[in-house]
Every structure is written in C-alpha cells, then in structure tokens.
Structure 1
Amino acid sequence: MISAPVAIAGVSGLPQPVESRLLKPMETLAIPQVTLEEAILIVKSNFDVPIEYTDFNSTYNTYDDRQVWALRWNGTAERPGEFAAEVSAINGNIISMNYWKNDTQVGNSPSIPPITKLAAREISNNLLKRLLGKLSEDLRLIPSDSEIMPLDYSPVNYNLQYQRLIDGVPFLSNGANVQVSSTDGHITSYNLNWNEVKAPEGKGVINSTQAQQAFIKAPFFKLEYWVPSSYRPLVAGQKQVAKLVYQLRGQNGGAIDAFTGEPLQLNQGDWLMTDSFGTGGMGNAKEERAGSISDGAQVLTPQEQLEVERTAKLLKRDEAIAAVQRWIEIPANLTLRSANLGTDWRSADKRIWSFNWNSMGSDKGDGTPQYLSARVSATTGELYGFDISNQPSGKTEAKLDRLAAQNLAEEFLKKVQPDRFSQVVLNTEINNQMDKISPEPWNIQAYSYHRVVNGVDFPDNGMIVNVDPVAGKVTSYELNWSEHELSSVSGILSKEQAVESFLKARPLTLNYVRIYSNGMPGDLRLVYLPVSQDRSISISNILDAKSGELLDYQGLPLEKGPKPYNFTDLEGVNGASEIAALGQAGLFGDYGNSFKPLEKMNLGSLLRAMYLNRFGQWGNTGLTESEILKKAKEQGWLKEEMQPGDPVSREILVKVLLRYIQLDKLAELNDIYQVKFQDAAQINPDALGFFALASSTGILKVEGQVLAPLETVSRAEAATALFRALGWRK
C-alpha cells in the first residue's frame, strides 16, 4: 500500500511543497540542490519501499534542464524484485517510480479484478494531490474508454494518463502517467513530465472555425492514391487496389498557428514534441541424386511446368548485365559478386535480375569505385535502379549547382524512363528542403519525383535520382513503380467534406507545443492541432476519400479495431460480473454495449470470443464468420459440421469448451464416467464424458437435476461457461 506523507524527525532542509518551488533553466552543471539523503527520504515518505529490498544503489545524472537522482532498491535471489525512483535534484519532485516484484502466485484462472477502474482513478488522483499539491489541479485525466482489459492469468494494471493544462489549454508532452494494480490497488508505476516554461498568452487567437478553414486551405491534407500494406501475399495476376484517400503529411502534424491562422512553419531540424551462414557448397550432384527418396521418374506438376516455361522466356544473366550496361558503365576494377533472379514482392508476375559488384583489390585511391548494385526487369531489361559508391575524391569544388544538378538528373530520367517521366512531377516539399543545402562535396543532391494519375498525386509510385555535384555524375537511381488497380475518382468527398470527417475524429484543439531544434528544447507555441480526445484509440492520418472513415495501415476502418464493451443490460443476470469482465476484454460485442443475455447463443459468436481471447484482438477483429469457423476447425475446437449462425446446444457448448482447454482426451474416456441427472438417458454416448467433466469442474452449472443436453443455451450461460473454462487451461 501507499503510505501517507509523514514528518521526518531530525531532518532539516527538505525541499518545500512542490507548488512553492519553480524550476530554473540550468545554464551550468550545478551542484544538486537536493542531496542524496533528502532524495531517499522524499521517496520513502511517499511510497512504501519493501523492507526486503536491501540492495540499494544510486546514480546522479543531468540532461538539458534535468538534474536527477536515480534510486534503485533490488530484492534478493530468493525474493526477486525492484523498486526504482527518480527525484529531481533541483526541487525534490518525484519524477518517476516503478515497482516490480516476481509474483509467483499467478492464478490459474482469470478473475474479476477486486479494484475497479473507478477505484483506480480515485487512488491515482489521491497520489497526484499528495505528490504535486496545487499543481495537480492543472492536470486533466485523458479519456481511455477504448482501453481493453485482457483476461490474463497475471496481474493487470490500469493505465491512467493525465494532460497538463496551462490556463486551461493542454500542454502536449507534459503531464503524468500512473499505473494502478487491479489486484490490490498498489501504484506500480508513476511518471511526471513537467517543464517550467514561459507560455505565450492566449489573447488574440483565432477561433476553431477559423482554424478549420485554415486547415482546409493548407497543403498538408490532400487527395492522393495510397497502397495499403498487404498482410496476404498477392498471387500471380492479382493487382492490389490503390485507394483514393486524403492523407495528412508534413512535419508539423497539421498544426495551425493560433495567432496568424497559417500552417505552423518549422525550420530544418525542427520538430514538435507531442504527445546462420552457409558452410558448404552444392557438393556432388550425382551423389545427391543417389541419395534421393525415390528412384522413380519424377513428373512436373502443371504449376511447376508453367514456372519453367515462364523462366525460359526471361533474359539470361549476361543479357540482363548487358541491359545494365546500356545505361551505366560498370567500372573495370569491380567484380561481380552476386546475381539473383527473383520476384518483385509487390507483384508475383514481375521478375527482376539483381546484381552486386565489389572492389576485390586494395586500390583505395581517390575517387576509385568500390561498389555497384543494379536491378533490371528480367522480361524487358528496363533499368529499375542502381547505386554506385566511390572513394572520396579529395576534390572540394562543385561542378554543378542545385539547378544544374537537377537538369542532369532529368536528362538521365528522360533517357531511361521517357514514358514514365512524363507522368511524374517533382516533389516540391522535398525539393524546397534540399534547396537550402548548398552543393558541397559531402552534400549529394537528391531529386524525388512522384506519379500523378487522373490529376491525383500517387506518392507510392515515382523515382529518385542522386547527383554528385563535384563529379558531375548521377550516382543513384531508384524506380518505385507498380501496376495497381486504381480507384475511380468518381464519388469522392470534397476536401471540405474530408476535413470535416477527419476533424470529427481528431478535433482541432488549442494546445501548447514545444519546438525542438536539432534536439534542443525551444519555445512554446500556441497552435490548433488535430488531437484524438481518447488516447486509447488508434490514430490515423489517412481518411478514405469515399467513405470518410479513418483507415489503418491495412486500409481497414479504424472502428473495427478492438475496444471494450460496457454492457448495460446485465442487472439480475446470473454471471453478470463474469460477462462484464468479458466485455471489458473486448469480447461478445455483437450488439455493442447491449449483451442480450436471454437470446440464444450462436456458434459464430462463441467461437469468435474464444479465438480472440486465445490469439489476441489486434489483426483478428476483422475476421469473417467463415474464417473464424475455419480457424476453430484447424484448432480442433469444432469437429461437427455446423454453420456460424447455428444455435449452440448444451452438448456443443461443453464439447467446444473442453477441446478449447485441451481436456477433450479425458472427456472421450466415456466408460469411466457417471452422471446423476434425471435425464441422463438423453445424453449422447460420445458426450457423456464431456458433461461429466464440465459439471464436476464447475464450467457448466445446472440448476436442479435436469440437464437438457440438447437444449439451446442462452448467451449468458455460454459466456459464463467460457469464463469459467479459462481457469482450466492446460
């Protein structure tokens, strides 16, 4: 438990209450104002450090405006654990605390947490009031309504995040984080990030409507083609769809200056602080064949024969090398080290020759080539990319300025990719940044171009060229171009409609943000920034241009991700607490926050809850009913021929649950079991052992002596049986 603050007799000079102390910018590495002894007493007066943690050590460190005592108490080999805390050496604030113990008494069953989320909030709030005093009034609890509480066999902590406010305006990156044990209410972790800075006054700022209009006009949120990450490999002939989306780009995160109403301008280097090897060759081929499994004649399958025919039509190695030499010179001092004929990961139909040449000699003279890689189409010989590396030349005079280097790059692209170059435009944002870098010997000039289709940018397709301004040569080229099924531009949202949908999910709110320049903390700025109000929800910068939904990296709507369910219809229901815990784990959300306990349980709902509990929510919430059914059969949980919408009988319930917890082998020993139900004669012989085990373990609870084995079970009965079954894992 956490002890209350106590007066420490005989100790003088302890720091004053936190609200009466102000941080001062540290100009030199000063002697700590808070001594080690004082830091230890501050921690022990606010937290119970386990007396069995007798191994103690400390360190003192500084970074920017931080001076910190790091204190660490360690347990013994017999009772391992750790209690660590950081105390500001400037003002005595407890900056962080982390408490870990090796809890060997892990239950064999997920249990209903003794400490509720509401109680955890009260414990956390009391801690902050005690540690921070009046400053705690400037903290606001950040909603976490979408945080799921997994049904685990080890203790689970509630995670509570607090946002610091300055005159009611959030100061992003400043605040506190507290973790509270759901088992006994212990504080297991505490972190404070609180910078003393001068904040600009909020007078004269634009309102949120003006900020939204500025956001609409800003160039950082625009329509483009976007290719989601594919979690399934594409088959031959299949094209991935390039979706039309509105995407938030740029280094300022969509910030609008609250005074000027213009996009926040950041300089170069600025950023916002917001929240085994082979050991042998092929050997003797004849000996390998002599050791084969079968001496009979082998016949190629149709797929294998098709691959042989495809490969026969491709360029041979030397032909592909000649295709490379058509565009670039291969230095005479380089030796071919590897050649690979493979498939483009983006398209199973595209074959690519990849080559690597290296310098094998000792010549390291100025400007001597050391390495060359190149890629060409194995079908057409088209150059997909190359990169050459030379020893530094020692020369300092640049032959080309930025514009001349760009002309050289574009001349190269027009020769190598005449058709595709006509479909691209220069990336102005990247080019504007590069314009600020003069063509020094060490500054290779980079030029990036992206594809435009139907008047819409397609950033995932394009080409990049690097030019050495001293040598006056192209040193690198990369083509990123794939054939996609392009979404039609008809029926898309206007930018105004897209902004409205985007800001509905991530409202523009007034915030203080700190700008870091080249890693150094700088001034605070007052900006409007699109910030999600619930930090437990995944955020996205990508909005579907047709549906107006935020998308995840796979192109799926974010709303289909895991979230907890607060069932509102469980009053008077047997097993209400167990069902509520399942809902908080993100299970049985078929009807949102209504559980409908008296309705019949269908097979798909039960199997989905079982699968998500076993294999986790992320990446699985979008599985279809047929996919869930298939996976349940693969796992051996379901052996009967059923459909997802079929009702679950009491017999099916006990069978799938005992298979789920791997007690089915015992249950199949029918001859050793007896049951005393009045209607035992109605039990199918192959189900007798399942009912005997399920009822004797408490997984299945039957009122009275009538079992009704073939009766359809309610959602409440099935869910509570699943909860109890989780305590009988193998």
Structure 2
Amino acid sequence: MFKKLLSLTVGLSLMLMLSGAALAEESRITNQEQAIAKAKELLPQLIGDKQLSVDFTEDDYRGTGVWNLRSSEERPVRLPLANRLYISLDENGSLLSFNYFDSSLQNSGQKLIDRNRAQAIAKNFLAQMKPHILDQIELEDITYNPYYYRSYDQGMFYTFRWNRLVNGIPVRDNGVTINVDAMSGQITFYDVSWDEQATFPAPGNNIKNPAEISSIVLENLGLYPAYRINPADPSGTKIQLIYQVNSQLSTFDAVTGKPVDSQGNIREFADVKRFKQTFSPQIGGQAALPEYHAKGQITSEKAQQIAEEFFKKLGYTGKVVHYGGGSSVGPGYHIELWDYSVALDPEGDPYGDRTVRVSIDTASGKIIGFQNQSERYTVQGTKTVTYEQAKAIAEQFIKQELVLPYPVALQKQDIFMESGEPYYLYFVRLVHGIPCDLGSITIQVDRNSGNVIGYHTHPLSFTIDAPKRIISPQEAARIFKEGQFYELCYIFPYNKEQGKNKQAQLVYVVKDYGLDIDAVTGKVLSWEIKNAATGIPENHWAAEPLRLLGENGLLPAKEINPDEQITRKDALRVMGSLNRYYYPDKLELKFTDIKPDDPDTDILKRAVAMGLLENQGALRPNDPLTREQLVVWLIKGIGYHEVASLPLKIETPFKDIPPEHPHRNSIAIMAALGVFVGDKDGLFNPQQPVTWAELATVLTRIAPKLNQRYY
C-alpha cells in the first residue's frame, strides 16, 4: 500500500509540475475565474472538485499582486488549518505558495520515507515550478526550534529550505521552502519568495570582513548584561543571564560598518543604542520573587470601585461602565481581565466611550492597562513634546501613579516610531541591577499635549535567583570578538510608501538570526536550536524515527541517548506537542504531585484535554513510562477507548497478555494497527520501560491516527 501511495504521490507531483512550466510567459490574471482556472491547471488533482473562494491583494513585500484561493468546504471546528487548501498565485499565474495536508493518505504502521527520498520529491517539484532558479540556490543546513514551538499540525514532515545566492552571497528572504510528508510522500507546503526584477551590487574591494565588523560593533555599541527566557526550555520560564549587543538594530553596512535600519538608511551608533546607561550586576543576595498569583476572583462591585477611583484620580468624570473583558498572556502567566470605560458624553454610547478604558486583573484587582485613544492625535496648542520631555513625563508617571516597588530602566525604541504617533516608552525592570524585560511597562505619551494616554504592565511571573557569578565585560568582549557573529548578505530595504526596494543592499547580519553569550559560562548561544537527534548513530535501528521527531520539533533541545528510559512526563511533553488541540482557559490541574507553578503545566493541561490523563490523583511524572501505560494513553489519544472498554476479549498475538489482563483490548488494537510489535519470543513485555527510540518509533507509526482526530 505504501508503495502505491508513494508512486501515486510522485506521479501526481510530476503531473502537477509539468503543467507549471514557463509560467512567467503566460498572460496576466485579471479576474477570479481566471485565477481558479490557473490553479486547477497547476494543481488539478489537489483541487479536484473543491469549491474555492478567491480574493486579490497587493503584496508590497513580494512586489506583486497576489490571488489567494481557499477551499470553502465545511470542516469540523477543530480541524487543523493544514487540512484546508490554501493557494496563492502572482498576477502572472505563477505559483507562489500552497498549503494542504490530506491525513487520509496516511496509514498507521506504514514505512517512513527517508529524508533523501523526500528531498528528491521536493527537488523534482521545484525543478518543474522554477527550473530557472536551480543553479542559484543552496540547500540550507536547517536548525530546529524545540518542540514547544511547534505551531501547526501537518503530520510529520521533512522541511527543505533553499536560499538564493548571488555572487556567492546569500540573499535574505529570497528562497524556497518545501515540506514533504514522511508517511505518504505528499508535498504539504510550498512557498517561494524570489525578486525576479532585483538588482545586486557587486562586492568591491572596500567591503569589510566579519572580524572588522565585530570590532566596530564592539567599540561603538558594546555589550550589556540582560536576563532572557532560555529558548531551549520547554516551559518558557527558565531564565538565562546573557551578554548581548547594546543596539536596537542588528544590520550593519558592509562598507562603513554603521547600523542600517529596515528602510536601508545608515544610522549613527549613538542613535541606535538600546540603553544609554551602564549596568553593574549584583552578585548574590535575594531572589526576585514573582508578582503574579492567579488565584480567586474579586467581585464585580470591587472592580467597579477600582475603575471609578482610577478615572477620578486622572480627572475623568462620567459614568463608569463594565463593557467586556479579555486576557493578557505571557511567559508563565495568563491573566483574565475586565474592561471598564467612562461615559464622557452622557448622550453617547450607554457602554461608555470605549476609547477611554482600563483593564483590571480579575484575580488581584490590579489595573494592568489604561488607554485613552481620544487624545491620541489631538493637537493642543502649537508646542510639540520632545522625546526627552516625554521620557521625563513617563518617569514621573511611574513614580507618582504606578508606585512600582522595583527600579526600572528605559529601553530606547524611538528609531521605530512614526512622526505622527505618540511616544512609546518601554521600561524594563532591573533585577539584581540587570535589565529584564519580563515584567516591563509600556507608557504612551501624546507628542502634542504631553499627556499620558496609555500604559500596560507585564508581571514578573516566576522567581529569578541572584547570580552567583558572571564573566567580566572584558571576557564577554573577547568571546564576542573571536566569535565571528556576522555574515555578509544582500537585503532589500522596505518602507510603507514605496514597498520593497528592488535595489539590494550589501550588509552584515547576525548569523542564525540572533546570537548571545552566556554570562555565566561564556558559551555562545544561538536563538535557533539544533536538532537533538543529529547525534544519533546512522546504524541505530530507530535513527530515522528519532531524526524525524527531532526535525519536527518533537524532541527536547538537549542531545538524547536513544536507548535511555524516558519518564512519564518526557512522553507527555512529546505527545502533548504532536497535535495542537485546545484546552479551556479555566482548566485547573488536580494532580496531587504537580505544583501550580510546574513548568510543564500547559503540556499537562493539553494531555488532560486530549483525554490521555484523568485529572486526579498522583501523576508520578518522574516514574519510568511502561509499554503498557503508553498503549493506554495512545488508545485514548486516537479515540478508541470506548472500543477497548467493550465487554469482549479481542485476540492478541502476544503470549504474555492473558485474557484477564486489564488492558488486553488496548494492546490488541495497537498490535492490529501495526503500532506495537512483540519481541523475538512473541512477548509484549507490558511492564518494560519505554526508551526514546521506542517512543519515536511508536509515535511515527501512530501519528496518522492522532492527526485524524479532532479535539
């Protein structure tokens, strides 16, 4: 069956691709009917008899008009977006992108396509769609985000990204991305970004080298210590102390070494510094404790009183009304909000003038946000407030009105402000004398009146221990200078009025889209995470499933031992990330051995919502996971629990699973689906601990069933 599916997929790819040759020579699409006809010509079997909705947009970034086509058939509410068909064509009928995943083409237990075969399928598709670019691209050595960043469901797939090269230099944001499903061989995602009319300056002898750029950046901007969330941590609550470049911009001119903004303008170093002050970290001392405790709820009467007192304090008169609510979500917190507005006009909206409003935390009663949009563009007099004046106004507001119990520092972001908009002043908390943008405050000051017209606070939601040691600024500078963090590339400047500039610009950018230095160990840190399975031996029996899970962001960022036993929580982390179902915001975990601030709370809530776990008793998260328990969880995950609970005995091939075994039917179903097999003696070994290799193998076999279930 697998061979038939693969043959069908490859054949389909060939048919689709052959129809796409010489697209650039075809006539311009002028209406919806032509767009649908062209899409069916390019992707006939993929579209079939699907009904398509069509709209046209001007895409300034792509530099072309775009026809967007979507399938409009009825789907279950929780169907992953990937199971809908999305196609985009440029105005000349060339395929820009499509996104579609048909989970019905997958069968549980079928053999995986290896990465080499998947790459051949992807390259064949590309050769038919864009034959003229094949000698201008280079396959990227992909880095991977850790599993908790997996944001959509397209089964398990291989990703291939080809970057454009001109004069041997990479072109940022020009290239091709293709995803190939590892089960069926179908191409599930295709996207090309290619500026056909662009011009590229040849690199001259005056181009600086990476070492010179590093020295210039270090001398003129320097490094500063900061706290950030560790991107390799699945909970999103682990803090790292780092050194990073003191700059609002990360792009530098290849000739002068000066900062370059998104519009291609060369800026002065003094204008782009993030902080004007220097910082002296405090070693040892007290930990910074979290502010946020999501317990209980104030009464609506109390919230009304808080809102009335706030508006009165700021000089607003009128009836205060409750008109709605929402939530504020960030690392380690989810705050439910009630919104209140003041009726400035007695004859106006009975729910108040919603341009003047406050947001109140329903648990603590704190006002975390205020907005007065009615004054935003109102000119009062002829005086224009300067940035320095706005800074002083914001600092005074923090001191008198917010009365914060901790020091803050202003992080400059003025180079991104439009001239007609209010000033946005972004203050970060100082923790142990170190900037920490977890627990920040944004204040808006009207540049005409000087009034504070808005603010929003973000709580610090977890503990930050005081550092025990930190490398010196001199040591950090040495590591930075030796690290060669920058690479030469072409970029396209962009502005709102003119769109993307077709004249490319030679600049230096940070490698891997972001690099920092661990301020404790001195290790260079990348924002992109390497696949944890890249170290798996080629001859390991589970090498392919492990690499596939790693490529899909379903393994922890750390390198793993494939034959190491996994814990129950290890397995739940991976399974909870395999399918992005939803869970109610109000869901509370009731496990007796899981603390409210457990870093894996979200994963466990997903497992409960999916039906894998009963929300009670002891979870025993650190116990080894047995084969028997994994079967039970998977049966629930694919929706077969009721079948397995029927009062009958399903035949099983395993000698050590007697008729009276409590999970006999579940084990029998998994065996029938080809997900679990026995050992050489025909034994299932229900109490045997599961290893990473076994988990990867089982999950790649069961993934189609998990993908076909709607939550």
Provide TM-score, normalisation by structure 1: 0.60
Choose from 537, 562, 565 the match for 1:595: 562
- 1:409 maps to a residue whose letter is I
* Alignment partner of 1:121 out of 108, 119, 122: 119
The answer to which structure, 1 or 2, has the higher relative contact order (CA under 8 A, 6+ apart) is: 2
- Seen in structure 2, the aligned counterparts of structure 1 residues 130 and 419 have a Cα distance that, compared at 3 Å, is closer
Q: Alpha carbons of 1:130 and 1:698: their partners in 2 closer, same or farther (altered >3 Å)?
A: closer
The percent identity for this pair of structures is 15
* Aligned counterpart in structure 1 of residue 504 of structure 2, from 524, 527, 535: 524
Give how far 1:140 is off.
Answer: 1.2
What letter matches 1:329 in structure 2? G
2:505 alignment partner AA: R
Letter in 2 for 1:86: L
Q: Distance in 2 between matches of 1:707 and 1:414?
A: 68
Q: Does 1:86 align with 2:89?
A: yes
Which residue in 2 is equivalent to 1:508? 486
Structure 2 CA distance for partners of 1:594 and 1:487, relative to 1, 3 Å: closer
Aligned 8 A contact 2:394 2:443 in 1: no
Judged with a 3 Å threshold, the aligned counterparts in structure 2 of structure 1 residues 128 and 324 are, in CA distance, closer, same or farther, namely closer
Q: Aligned to 1:398, what secondary structure does the other structure show? A: coil
The reply to whether residue 360 of structure 1 matches residue 345 of structure 2 is yes
Flag the 1:661–1:604 CA change in 2: closer, same or farther, 3 A.
same
2:278 corresponds in structure 1 to: none
Deviation at 1:209, TM superposition (A): 1.0
Contact 1:255–1:528 (CA<8 Å) still a contact in 2? yes
**1:251 & 1:463 partners in 2: Cα distance?**
16
Equivalent AA in structure 1 for residue 346 of structure 2? G
SS of the residue aligned with 1:635? Answer: coil
In 2, Cα distance between equivalents of 1:498 and 1:154: 41
Does residue 1:335 correspond to 2:319, yes or no? yes
Counterpart in the other structure of 2:255: 259
1:146 corresponds to which residue? 144
- Deviations 1:348-387, CA, capped at 9 Å, x for gaps: 9x999997432233599xxxx9975579999xx9999866
User: Whole-Å Cα distance in 2 between the matches of residues 351 and 722 of structure 1?
Assistant: 36
Given the superposition, is the C-alpha separation of residues 524 and 585 from structure 1 closer, same or farther in structure 2, using an over 3 Å criterion?
closer
Q: Which amino acid aligns with 1:474?
A: N
Which residue type is aligned with residue 139 of structure 2?
L
Distance 1:62 1:481 in 2: 36
The within-5 A match list for 1:6-155 is 49-50=44-45, 66=63, 86=89, 89=92, 94-96=94-96, 98=98, 105-109=104-108, 111-114=110-113, 116-129=114-127, 132-133=130-131, 135-144=133-142, 146=144
* Deviation of the 1:258 alpha carbon: 1.2
Partner residue, 2:167: 167
Cα distance change of structure 1 residues 616 and 44 upon mapping to structure 2, 3 Å threshold? closer
Q: Which residue of 2 aligns with 1:212?
A: 214
Residue of structure 2 equivalent to 1:193: 194
Cα contact 1:342–1:353 (8 A) shared by 2: yes
AA paired with 1:2?
L
> Once the two structures are superposed, what CA deviation does each residue of 1:73-95 show, in whole Å capped at 9, x if it has no partner?
99999xx9979673664xxx935
Aligned partners of 2:367, 2:600: CA distance in 1, in Å? 40
Q: Residue type matched to 2:172 in 1?
A: L
Cα distance, 1:246 vs structure 2:
3.8
In the TM superposition, what is the alpha-carbon distance from 1:592 to its structure 2 partner? 3.9
User: Please, which of 559, 568, 580 is the counterpart of residue 537 of structure 2?
Assistant: 568
Number of paired residues?
620
Distance 1:656 1:344 in 2: 32
Give the distance between the partners of 2:678 and 2:361, measured in 1 at CA: 69
- Deviation of residue 131 (structure 1)? 5.0
TM-score by length of 2: 0.61
Deviation at residue 530 of structure 1 after TM alignment: 0.7
> Would the aligned equivalents of 2:485 and 2:515 in 1 still touch at CA under 8 Å?
no
Counterparts of 1:486 and 1:70, CA distance in 2 = 49
Cα offset for 1:641?
9.7
Match of 1:160, SS?
A: strand
Residue 400 of structure 1 and its aligned partner are, at CA, apart by 5.8
Matches within 5 A, 1:675-686: 686=662
The 1:242–1:462 alpha-carbon spacing in structure 2 relative to 1, beyond 3 Å, is farther
Change (3 A) 1:136 1:482: closer
Query: Would the aligned equivalents of 2:531 and 2:557 in 1 still touch at CA under 8 Å?
Result: no
Distance 2:611 2:510 in 1: 45
SS in 2 for 1:165: strand
1:298 maps to which residue? none
Does 2:413 correspond to 1:466? Answer: no
Q: In the alignment, is the contact (CA less than 8 A) between 1:88 and 1:95 conserved in 2?
A: no
1:164 aligns to what SS in structure 2?
strand
Q: CA RMSD in A?
A: 6.8
* Per-residue deviation, residues 396-426 of structure 1 (Å, max 9, x unmatched): 7414663895598379649836987995666
1:213 partner letter: S
Gaps of 5+ in 1: 9-13, 22-31, 234-239, 272-305, 533-538
Deviates more, 1:561-570 or 1:521-530: 561-570
Structure-to-structure mapping, 1:177-192, within 5 angstroms: 177-180=177-180, 182=182, 183-184=184-185, 189-192=190-193
Q: Deviations over 1:255-303 (max 9, x none)?
A: 12111122225679999xxxxxxxxxxxxxxxxxxxxxxxxxxxxxxxx
**Letter paired with 1:259:** V
1:94-493 pair list within 5 angstroms: 94-96=94-96, 98=98, 105-109=104-108, 111-114=110-113, 116-129=114-127, 132-133=130-131, 135-144=133-142, 146=144, 158-180=158-180, 182=182, 183-184=184-185, 189-203=190-204, 204-219=206-221, 222-225=224-227, 244-247=241-244, 252=249, 254-264=250-260, 328-331=314-317, 334-337=318-321, 356-362=341-347, 397-399=381-383, 402=386, 406=390, 409=393, 413=397, 416=400, 429-430=413-414, 437=419, 456-457=434-435, 460-461=439-440, 464=443, 466-467=445-446, 469=448, 474-476=451-453, 478=455, 480=457, 488=466, 491-493=469-471
After superposition, the Cα gap between the structure-2 partners of 1:724 and 1:338, relative to the gap in structure 1 and judged at 3 Å, is closer
Aligned to 1:275: none
637 and 519 in structure 1: CA distance in 2 versus 1, 3 angstrom threshold? same
Report how far residue 526 of structure 1 moved: 1.2
Q: CA deviation at 1:529?
A: 0.4
Instruction: Give the deviation of 1:493 after TM superposition.
Output: 3.6
Amino acid at match of 2:14: I
Q: Which runs of 5+ in 2 are unaligned?
A: 1-12, 75-82, 268-294, 583-597
Q: Which amino acid aligns with 1:258?
A: A
In the TM superposition, what whole-angstrom CA distance separates every residue of 1:660-713 from its partner, at most 9, and x where no partner exists?
A: 6566666677885787987788x8754666666666665554467764857847
Displacement of 1:136 in angstroms is 2.4
Q: Distance in 1 between matches of 2:645 and 2:354?
A: 69
Of 517-526 and 183-192, the range deviating more from structure 2: 183-192
Alpha-carbon shift at residue 219 of structure 1 (Å): 3.5
